[in-house]
């Protein structure tokens, strides 16, 4: 199969491209606009592979996306390109509407035109896989409950509202135009090549440098964490075996409060690279003013993908976190340029879960 992966130079997209090239026989075309969140270094391991191609392209450019689909004769469009950072969406929601809502609309229209021209024998396998987040469902109580595929949408942030809108467009293109759309909503990912504005990489790098570890509120917000390579495997299964018109929740059954996550990172780092000061890194935690509209808890019921598609996560939170911390210790060349100014975001000093 030939996959068109949008946003393949980002955190999850690059894990998907590496997975498809290194662990399967599929071909990959990666179309990415290379925003601040992209990092071509995340693709170095596969850049020279004959089954991999890169196209510098913006999903909002419908003719260009259609041309890419035709040129590479793609079978599956896996759509990850997005603005993905909740804090940025609060500061400037317009880009999120433009990329996540309008961009998804333009890509759906390109896919609809492409699908209409496909010969019958290639139509059966074609899928438009829209990759989304559990944040579209809103917040759960600390007491219990899980997001299922039937949970009503109730987004809280401009980011999650833009993703919710794009999910509705994708499913509408299936119901109205018959485009074979599959949708997935996943919990928080972590792992290698994660841009250091997000909670886990930010905490690892600040802790490594003996800098304060900002935590929103009292660190009580709970997220369900999934190792990014487990998500990449889930996405391949959904794109190739999922039923058109159906959505699949993906999660790790690994709920942790933000404070527990930060403490776990500190303890892992203390063990792998003892602090020169001799002082446990947990002492670096600083509570900061909470994010507006901060959802209290997200938790995923992943029983549909487990039962229907046979997917299971392979990493626990502890094993995945250890792999992640080791990756950041071993890959300074990847994150050093970002920390030293190529990325100038004022938000680096804050922490986030989105
Ligand atoms: P990311 O911010 O790391 O990467 C996004 C990528 O999209 C970047 O490479 C960027 O250059 C590209 N991009 C942005 N605008 C584009 C445009 N107009 N045209 C083409 N490319 C463009 O994001 P991520 O964390 O890897 O998330 C990928 C997808 O998965 C998103 O759709 C996100 O909503 C979803 N998701 C993320 C998580 C998570 O925990 N990170 C969880 C569930 C779902």
User: β-strands 255-257, 188-190: how paired?
Assistant: unpaired
Is the CB of 9 within 6 Å of ligand 1?
A: yes
Is the CB of 34 within 6 Å of ligand 1?
A: yes
The two tokens of residue 158 are 């401009």
Q: pLDDT tens across 193-219, in order? A: 999 989 999 999 999 999 999 999 999
Q: Choose one of 8, 11, 94 to mutate for the ligand 1 pocket test, by most ligand atoms within 8 angstroms of C-beta.
A: 11
Identify which of 195, 192, 235, 248 has the alpha carbon closest to the alpha carbon of residue 28. 235
Q: What is the pLDDT of residue 339?
A: 87
Q: Side by side, which strands form the sheet with 255-257?
A: 188-190, 222-227, 255-257
Gap between the Cα atoms of 327 and 324, Å rounded: 5
Identify which of 300, 85, 306, 59 has the alpha carbon closest to the alpha carbon of residue 202. 85
CATH 1.20.810.10 fits domain 2-191+226-254+299-316: no
Q: Choose one of 10, 135, 184, 231 to mutate for the ligand 1 pocket test, by most ligand atoms within 8 angstroms of C-beta.
A: 10
How far apart are the CA of 104 and the centre of ligand 1, in A?
12
The residues annotated with a catalytic role in the active site are: 134-135, 159
Gap between the Cα atoms of 261 and 58, Å rounded: 35
**Cβ atoms of 101 and 166 closer than 8 Å:** yes
User: Can you point out the beta strands (E) in 282-350?
Assistant: 285-288
Confidence class for position 340, pLDDT limits 50, 70, 90: confident
pTM of the model: 0.96
Examine the pLDDT at 269 and tell me if it is beyond 70: yes
Q: Rounded mean pLDDT of the chain?
A: 94
Q: Is 138 left (phi over 0), alpha (psi -120 to 50) or beta?
A: left
Nearest CA to ligand 1 atom 32: 80
Residue 28 belongs to what H/E stretch? strand 27-32
Q: pLDDT tens across 23-53, in order? A: 999 999 999 999 999 999 999 999 999 999 9
**Cβ atoms of 115 and 43 closer than 8 Å:** no
Gap between the Cα atoms of 190 and 199, Å rounded: 9
Confidence class for position 346, pLDDT limits 50, 70, 90: very low
Confidence class for position 143, pLDDT limits 50, 70, 90: confident
The vertex-196 CA angle with 165 and 137, nearest 5°, equals 25
Residue boundaries of the structural domains of the chain: 2-191+226-254+299-316
Burial bucket for residue 96 (CB in 10 Å: 0-12, 13-18, 19+): buried
Q: What is the pLDDT of residue 197?
A: 87
Nearest CA to ligand 1 atom 43: 133
Q: How many residues does the chain have?
A: 354
Q: pLDDT tens across 160-182, in order? A: 999 999 999 999 999 999 999 99
Cβ within 8 Å of residue 281, ≥6 positions away: 207, 210, 213, 266, 267, 269, 270, 275
């Amino acid at each position: 199969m030939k996959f068109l992966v949008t946003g393949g130079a980002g955190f999850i997209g690059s894990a998907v491209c590496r997975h498809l090239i290194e662990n399967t026989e599929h071909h990959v075309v990666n179309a990415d606009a290379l925003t601040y969140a992209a990092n071509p270094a995340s693709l170095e391991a596969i850049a020279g592979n004959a089954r991999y191609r890169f196209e510098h392209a913006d999903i909002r450019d419908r003719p260009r996306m259609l041309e890419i689909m035709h040129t590479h004769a793609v079978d599956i469009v896996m759509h990850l390109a997005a603005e993905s950072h909740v804090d940025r969406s609060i500061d400037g929601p317009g880009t999120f509407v433009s990329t996540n809502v309008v961009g998804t609309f333009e890509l759906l229209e390109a896919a609809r035109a492409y699908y209409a021209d496909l010969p019958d024998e290639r139509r059966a396998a074609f899928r438009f896989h829209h990759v989304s987040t559990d944040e579209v469902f809103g917040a759960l109580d600390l007491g219990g409950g899980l997001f299922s595929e039937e949970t009503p949408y109730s987004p809280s942030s401009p980011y999650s509202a833009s993703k919710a809108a794009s999910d509705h467009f994708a499913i509408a293109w299936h119901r109205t135009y018959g485009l074979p759309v599959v949708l997935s909503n996943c919990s928080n990912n972590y792992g290698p090549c994660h841009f250091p504005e997000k909670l886990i990489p930010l905490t690892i790098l600040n802790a490594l440098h003996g800098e304060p570890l900002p935590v929103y509120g009292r660190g009580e917000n709970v997220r369900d964490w999934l190792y990014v390579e487990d998500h990449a495997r889930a996405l391949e299964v959904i794109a190739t075996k999922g039923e058109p018109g159906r959505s699949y929740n993906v999660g790790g059954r690994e709920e942790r409060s933000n404070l527990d996550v930060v403490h776990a990172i500190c303890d892992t780092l203390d063990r792998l690279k003892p602090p020169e000061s001799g002082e446990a890194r947990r002492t670096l935690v600083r509570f900061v003013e909470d994010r507006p509209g901060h959802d209290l808890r997200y938790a995923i019921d992943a029983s549909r993908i487990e039962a229907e598609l046979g997917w299971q996560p392979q990493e626990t939170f502890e094993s995945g976190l250890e792999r992640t911390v080791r990756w950041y210790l071993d890959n300074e060349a990847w994150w050093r340029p970002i920390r030293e100014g190529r990325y100038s975001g004022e938000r680096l000093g804050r922490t986030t879960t989105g």
